[in-house]
Structure 1
Amino acid sequence: MSLSELSTCTTILVGRLASYDGSTLIARNEDAGTAVDPKKFVVVKPGNQPRDYHAKLSKFTLKLPDNPLRYTAIPNAVATSGIWGEAGINADNVAMSATETITTNERILGADPLVTNGVGEEDLLTVTLPYIHSAREGVKRVGEILKTYGTYESNGIIFSDVNEIWYMETAGGHHWVAQRIPDDAYVVAPNQTGIQEIDFDDPDHFMFADDLQQFVKDNHLNLGQGFNFREIFGSHSQLDHHYNTPRAWYAQRYFSSDSVTDQDPMSDSLPFISYADKKITIEDIKYVLSSHYQDTPYDPFALGASRATAPFRPIGINRTQELCVLQLRPNLPAGRSAIQWVAMAANPFNTLVPFFTNVNDTPASYRDTTNSLDSHNAYWANRLISLIVADHFQLLISDVESYQEKTLGYGHQRIAELDQQLNGLTGDELTEALTSANQITADHVMAATDELLTTLVAKGGNQVLGAFTRENY
């Protein structure tokens, strides 16, 4: 498979001291190879978790442990090509997002070839998230799977709990490294190997394959000083300069404008670990993961834009299927700590909706996605909106922005209200209350989405080719 045939995503990680409320925040756009690849948001209960896992895209199989945890996921609507669970939070409030497809180089693939029937993005969330009790355990579990079975692709894998965020990158068929993101830092990962200098004597911040150093030495892979994982295992191609690095450039320009004024969108030396000018909010993450290089010369939606003026792949691309921001809040009871913010379809035109994850089920409008268009389903309604607005951007974007502001405001209001209303509830009573509360939240946002879709169809319909009024002639 080529990069374009896989999910080609953008990731943002925000340490707890860098976020607006002390939460750990991990977020990722899931970008498919085509514009339409429907997704659904579900809860997987222990009784529905497979015990003998069989992949669809490869012959990878795995006997899974007993006693899995309940977890949320955002899999494909129809599992003909596999589950692709992508992002979720388990009952122990451990979050996982998998995967950020990344690049490597020929020397690595020669020394440690990819494994045709190894593990891949299709499988990783399903075979990992129900069995881990901390972010570190997530890294260790995937590391063991890579050592035993290998992988057929290069990926970045994210784990978080209320205290830590770990970013893990695979290299070749069996090798990997993981770095703990500093609490006061953020990371943007745009389909490139990102981790830089490794400190092999710092187990609090780095984990890695047992033989990583010897493997690099034996195969003469380190061409520089120190041990820079990106330089050894990554790529510096023309594709990177137009497809990957501009996304990191734009995000760092937004979060760290005081310190990155001289960076170039095609630079090979953008930092992996970055520090923001101010605390980072949910809205900041949504803005960056929706971006199309607005307020730069490279915006494809600008008046007069062409391929010549917009040579870089946007972050908020039409091929985005969903965005999840996984928020683990400190200083709250565990039963109300975890929130999965979900946005369906193309990010410039959708909205994030907060769902508590300590629930028995998800709202039908997010759960029951099919391959057939249904405007009352969150995925399909937002896919329609993105199609209409992209063709009438200047006319309709103000309606979308008003909708986004109102619905995101409502989302924050709901969290604050529920934190007050449900204070003191525990166990099954709390789980049932949060399940019902999520339904109310979804119903409100879907009503606003239906209203927006109606407005866009009415306004956009007057501007289509073939429209005719006597006043114009």
Structure 2
Amino acid sequence: MSCTTILAGKKATYDGSTFAARNEDSGSGSFMPKKFIVVSPSEQPGKYRSVLSHVEIELPEHPMRYTAMPNATEKEGIWAAAGVNEVNVSMTATETITSNERVLGADPLVRYLPEKDGQEEQAGGIGEEDIVSITLPYIRSAREGVERLGMLLEKYGTYEMNGIAFQDMEEVWWLETIGGHHWIAKRVPDDAYVIMPNQLGIDSFDLADALGEKKAHMCSADLPRFIEENHLSLSFDGTLNPREAFGSHSDADHIYNTPRAWFIARYLNPHSFRWDGENADFRPESDDIPWSFVPERKLTVEDVKYVLSAHFQGTPYDPYAKYGDPAKRGCFRPIGINRNNFLSLVQLRPSLLPELCAIEWVAFGSNVFNAFVPFYANVNRTPDYMANTGERVTTENFYWANRLLGALADAQFSLCKSHIERYQAAVPIEGYRILHEYDERIGAGDVRGGDAVKLLEEANERIAVMVQEKTDDTLDKVLYEASCQMKNGFSRSDA
């Protein structure tokens, strides 16, 4: 599953929040409808069975409530994708990442093998379908999330290479799988942000810390032996660069992956390095773009939405450009692509009541054309407009309305751009206004427990009504522009 992830520590953001954001994108030629829901403890199974790999896992008792962004249809499983649990711990899973032949030969992925020629079925490992559902309801910190998922990976293995983010009020951690059973995890520095574009990304790692105090690194217990026995470290000085040891550097990476990291870092750190020209420090195809950066200024929600919607605007590679060399337009895979399923940013705000601190920003469809909507996460249900997605195309839910909006606006980009820009600004402006109102009502009124939840759900309903009105209005405007450009149009009227 192709995706792009942005993580930020609490000293790197405008309000001291931790950020964890990810685009989930469908594979080439496919589009998966998504919805935004709440999973209650009563809906969580005692034994989990994967649809794709058939692995069965006994789950702990007493799961917690959590939000999720599952597939609208479960023929391929749940794919809960991203969410926040009731103690304000978040995770997003997964960023599909790359590896190399040496790693996968030494620790093969755990593939599902169906019954065949008298051989019994062999269950596969865990994967993106499963990871949120078997982890998020049971963890009370980001660090606990790493520990639980690490245990599950060692016990059951995985059938794919993945990166997973865990977040609480204090810490953000990034975990990467290595082969079928091994893993590493690194804490995002408090003053930094991390970019992950479908590659194994961690570029430095302290094994002594991971096997000792675990201040900022964790890993599977036998990782040093695994590295040594299979001659995986490529450094001359004994340091470990996981990207070199466990990752890939293919021609495909230079078209599909590294250009996304280049654009995001170029936008957020424009003066820190030379990004363009013959003497550039980093180019779109560079394999050594750092995993983390200290930003030149504090990051905002709007920054995250902009870079995760990017189509290389302002560069020669923009597919919508009307300038520069036509041969360069669209040569790299955009971040905001036609097959974005959703974008989720969890913002854990400090100095607020626990009921108020978790905001989940949500967008569906192609990020170039959609709007970012904030919702309180500590609720028992989400608005129907966000939760009722099915296979039927309809403007009565946010997913399909945005898919339609993007398809229409893309075909007439120049004519529709102003409508989209106004829409993308109007929705979060009104969303912020409603958040400020309810933050004050709940915080100042000493509202707690069930009463607070009711008010949060009321706020979410108001936000959903607002965004539906603005989405419908924008769809009307874009439909008009597209209709006027139909090839069967004719200027003479019947009147």
Q: TM-score range by the shorter chain?
A: over 0.9
Q: Hey, what does 1:4 align to over in structure 2? A: none
Contact 1:167–1:180 at 8 Å: present in 2 too? yes
Deviates most, 114-123 or 191-200: 191-200
Helix, strand or coil: the match of 2:134? helix
- What is the distance in 1 between the residues matched to 2:326 and 2:128? 34
Segments ≥4 residues shifted beyond 3 Å:
304-308
1:3 corresponds to which residue? none
Rounded Cα–Cα distance in structure 2 between residues aligned with 1:422 and 1:463: 49
Q: Which of residues 170, 183, 194 is equivalent to 2:190?
A: 183
What is the rounded CA distance, in whole Å, between the counterparts of 1:35 and 1:153 in structure 2?
19
1:18 match: 12
Q: How do 1:7-406 and structure 2 match up within 5 A?
A: 7-33=1-27, 34-116=29-111, 117-202=124-209, 203-225=214-236, 226-261=239-274, 262=280, 263-303=282-322, 308-406=328-426
Distance 1:307 1:442, change over 3 A: farther
Contact 1:35 1:318 in 2 (8 A): no
Any idea what SS the aligned residue of 1:81 has?
Answer: coil
Residue in structure 2 matched with residue 427 of structure 1 by the alignment: 449
Letter in 2 for 1:88: G
TM-score (norm 2): 0.93
Q: Deviation at 1:436?
A: 1.5
Deviations 1:111-151 (A, max 9, x none): 00000100000000000000000000000000000110100
Alpha-carbon distance between aligned partners in 1 of 2:271 and 2:56, rounded to the nearest angstrom: 49
- 2:458 is the alignment partner of 1:436: yes
Match status 1:454 vs 2:476: yes
Counterpart AA for 1:66: E
Give the match's secondary structure for 2:183. Answer: strand
Letter in 1 for 2:215: D
Shift of 1:440: 0.8
Does the 8 Å contact 2:174/2:188 carry over to 1? yes
Q: Structure 2: which 5+ runs fail to align?
A: 112-123, 275-279
Q: TM-score, normalised by structure 1?
A: 0.97
Give the match's secondary structure for 1:254: helix
Instruction: Render the CA deviation track for 1:290-325: whole Å, top value 9, x for unaligned.
Output: 000000000001127856432100000001010000
- 1 CA distance for matches of 2:234 and 2:294? 28
Distance 1:223 1:279 in 2: 35
Name the stretch that deviates more: 301-310 or 218-227: 301-310
* Equivalent residues of 1:376, 1:450 under 8 A apart: no
CA shift, 1:284, in A, is 0.3
2:68–2:83 Cα contact (<8 Å) kept: yes
SS of the residue aligned with 1:80?
Answer: coil
**Structure 2 SS opposite 1:405:** helix
Of stretches 270-279 and 33-42 in structure 1, the one that deviates more from structure 2 is 33-42
Q: State the number of aligned residues.
A: 465
Query: What letter matches 2:85 in structure 1?
Result: N
- For the aligned residues, what is the CA RMSD? 1.1
Q: Match for 1:231: what amino acid?
A: E
Tell me, yes or no, if the aligned pair for 2:316 and 2:328 is still in contact at 8 Å: no
- Per-residue deviation, residues 198-250 of structure 1 (Å, max 9, x unmatched): 11232110000101111010111112231111100000000100000000000
Q: Could you tell which deviates more after superposition, 185-194 or 196-205?
A: 196-205
- Counterparts of 1:35 and 1:381 in 2: how far apart (Å)? 17
Task: Determine the C-alpha separation between the residues in 2 that align with 1:279 and 1:451.
Answer: 33
Question: Helix, strand or coil: the match of 2:130?
Answer: helix
Any conservation in 2 of the 1:26–1:160 contact (CA below 8 Å)?
A: yes
Task: Give the Cα separation in 2 of the matches to 1:221 and 1:422.
Answer: 54
Q: Is the 8 A contact 2:438 2:455 kept in 1?
A: no
Paired with 2:131 and 2:428, the residues of 1 have a C-alpha distance of: 30
